Structure 1
Amino acid sequence: MSFISSNSLQFMRASTDGSLAESSLRLRKRSNKQIMLIRYLKDKQRHEMIACNITKQVPKKEFRDVWRNLSSVLPELTGVGAWCQSN
């Protein structure tokens, strides 16, 4: 006796007409958009972090070095306000 679940039947139907491939492609695009959003937020935080430190009048060379290595300095997706208050 063979039991076939409704999910597997839907999968078989979807795989024959190609709609499953389209839906998985749409999911992949959504996750790429989420990745882009995360990158945008990190860049925005970097700009805000530099803006809160600009009053310290850092020499240009040091400022450039910090800008290059900022990804290692910046805490992962934390609030910039908290970062400014702690420094």
Structure 2
Amino acid sequence: MSEVEGLITRLQQCADGFRLGHDVEAAMTMVQLIETAQAVIDSAAPKQRQDWEALLGLMFECQQGQNWLALADYLQYECVELLRCVGIR
């Protein structure tokens, strides 16, 4: 399993944590995962880095509004898609 695939698996597990109401634990895990993902994104194309920054803003808004289900969706679908695109190049 590649580094990106391992990260994707952990993002999906984190999303499950938010969906199950474990928001405190999931939020702490998410911070670590975002830092790891940032290292991957740093080597991405400029468009992908812009998409990542926009996605981080949306996730921050969800976190501020305690919209855990939307945050879980961003983690499980949007982050995963972006990381897969970066991992393919």
Tell me the TM-score normalized by structure 1: 0.33
Higher relative contact order (CA 8 A, sep 6+): 2
Kindly indicate which of the two structures has a greater share of residues assigned to helix: 2
Q: Decide which structure has the larger Cα Rg and report it.
A: 1
Q: Compute the TM-score of the two structures, normalised by the length of structure 2.
A: 0.32
